[in-house]
Each structure stands twice: as structure tokens, then as C-alpha cells.
Amino acid sequence: MNVRRRLIPAAALAGAFALGATALTACSGSAGAAAGGKDGKLDVTASFYPMQFLAEQIGKDHVKVTTLTKPGVEPHDLEITPKQTAQLGEADVVLYLKSLQPAVDKAVAQSGVKNVVDAATLTQLEAHSASGHESHESHEGQEHGASEEGHDHGEAGEDPHIWLDPVKFAEVAKGVGAALEKADPDHAADYGKNTADLLAKLTGLDGEFKEGLANTASKTFITTHSAFGYLAERYGLDQEGISGVDPESEPSPARMKDLQAIAKKDNVTTVFFETLASDKTAKTLARDTGLQTDVLDPLEGITDTSQGADYLEVMRSNLKNLRKALGAK
């Protein structure tokens, strides 16, 4: 089972956000400067959907949010044009998650943008293995900073998928709220209220997951994309990734054999795939082991095929699918 390192208990969620003060990694000019958009709105550029969701939920009518990763694009593979890099420098605030998208990291560094919010500084990142059955010592010894496919997971091999843990996502939301208040103090009270409202929703979501996954026939789930390490750790589950970081890479025959054995041993019923990547490997494993397939969405983007219209709805769909697959009582 994944090593459980509770840095901030869910029960203390409402008051556990001291890291929010670090939200602006760089800032110039007076803190009282007004929003710079022609319509008087704060111009916020988000790197991909989870950051967009936070900006929209907290900023509401006071912000204009654009996202670098369009719906249907796999965020890890995003390429940034010179024009987009130039446009970044004109934003009032850029909200991104360093180490998830190398192209965005490079563009932010080149853009000269002043107000930068790196979500990775707003919570504690951890290293996670693709296999929940590996020992902690073995996992820490792996060279897991970047896969052969080039998907960087940080200098120390940290897992960037923090938004899939409602508690950690709430920590990030708190920091984003503080950043918007600082960038646009005229509307600070509204940002504060909207942040509090969002934190309440995320606290509720955490409670739903905790209750919904407390009593299941199995604790192991198999997925194409090893994005659910934080979620598994938070709720006492074992994540088994087919292809590791890259959901479309081909797993080795040895890995497929291991997964077949794990599925039999741990009473696994379902192999999960995602909407933004091929389901080929998931279906192959399911066919070879006589298992079912279903969707577990890493929420890197919302499309017409997503099982919900926003972060909260898709997370609840994930919970429903996990409960069914794990035999929740």
C-alpha cells in the first residue's frame, strides 16, 4: 500500500493553509495596482484545466481567464508558440504547475511575466511509485525524475498531480486566492469569500471520498495513467499504473504479467483508462485477465466526453466508478 504521510489532516482543512503566503513567486509594482485589462478585469492565464478551474471559481466576474492547454489536448505534450510566450508577458497573473508541462515552464521563464503563481509551491509535493505494492525504500531509490518519454516529474521525482487530492487542491486554492487578492486588492473581499466557498466545496468532496471508499472489497485499482498517487494515499488505496507517467506508452511484457498476478491476488475487477489518451493497453489487459474497463479521469482537461462539466462533477464520477470497481459497501 502507498506510504501514508499525512502532512495536513483532512479534519484540519479549514485552518491548514500557511503556505498561501508564498503564492506570488515574483511581483513588481504596487500591491494596490488595479487590474490591467481593458474591461477592468484581472487578466489571468492558466496553464491547464485545474488551474483554470481555480481561477474561475475564485475570480468569478472579476477575472478574465485564458488557458494555454485547449480542451482535448494532453497537457504533458503541450507545445507553446512564440506568440503565446509573448502573450504570457501581458497577463496580470500567470497560474501554472511547475514540472508538469516542460513547455510551459520554459515559456514562463522566457516571457518576463511579473506575477507568477506556481501551484507546486502552495502544497507539499511527494514522490509516488506507479505500483502501490512496491516498498517505500525501493520506490525512493528509483531514478524517477523523468521518464523515457520525457515527462518530467520534478527535480526530486515529485508527483505533480496534486489536484486529484481534494485536501491538497484546497491548499493550492487558498494560495491562489491570496495571490488574486494581492494582485487586485480592490476586490480582495470578493476573492476571500469565493475562496472560502470553494474550500467548503473541497472539504465536502474530501468527506465524500473518505466515506465512500472507507469500506471496499478491494483496495487496488489498475489505471493506464499513474496520476492517482495522492488520491490513493489519501484514501488508503493502492494504485497500479500500466504505463507509468505516459498513458500512451507501451508497457513491458513483464509489467503486464505482474498486473495479471496483482489483479488475481487483490480481486481487481476493473482496468481504468482516461478520456484524453488511448484505451488500447487497458483493453488489452482487461481482455487477457477477463476484467471490465471503466473511466478514471485525471482531470487534465474537460471535453464533451468527460463524465461531468467541471472538476467537482468529474471527481464525483471518479468516486462513483472507484466505488463500483472496488466493491464499496
202 and 271 in a single domain? The answer is no
- The phi and psi torsions of 63 (rounded to 5 degrees) equal -130, 155
pLDDT at 52: 98
38 and 128 in a single domain? The answer is yes
Q: How far apart are CA 2 and CA 130, in angstroms?
A: 10
Does residue 5 fall inside a structural domain?
A: no
List the domain range (segments joined by +) for residue 242: 215-326
**Helix, coil or strand: residue 94:** strand
- 46 vs 224: which has the higher pLDDT: 46
Does residue 32 fall inside a structural domain?
A: yes
pTM over 0.85: no
83 and 232 in a single domain? The answer is no
- Pair 270, 222: CB distance under 8 Å: yes
pLDDT in tens, 108-133: 998 888 899 999 999 999 998 776 65
226 and 186 in a single domain? The answer is no
Using alpha carbons, select from 96, 161, 171, 177 the residue that is nearest to residue 300.
161
Does residue 105 fall inside a structural domain?
A: yes
Q: What is the pLDDT averaged over residues 131-141?
A: 42
- Pair 164, 317: CB distance under 8 Å: no
159 φψ region: left (φ > 0), alpha (ψ -120 to 50), beta (else): beta
pLDDT in tens, 2-55: 444 434 444 444 444 344 444 444 333 333 344 555 688 999 999 999 999 999
Q: How far apart are CA 72 and CA 69, in angstroms?
A: 8
The CATH number assigned to the domain holding 193 equals: 3.40.50.1980
137 and 274 in a single domain? The answer is no
Share of the chain above pLDDT 90, in %: 59
pLDDT in tens, 67-104: 999 988 889 889 998 888 888 999 999 999 999 999 99
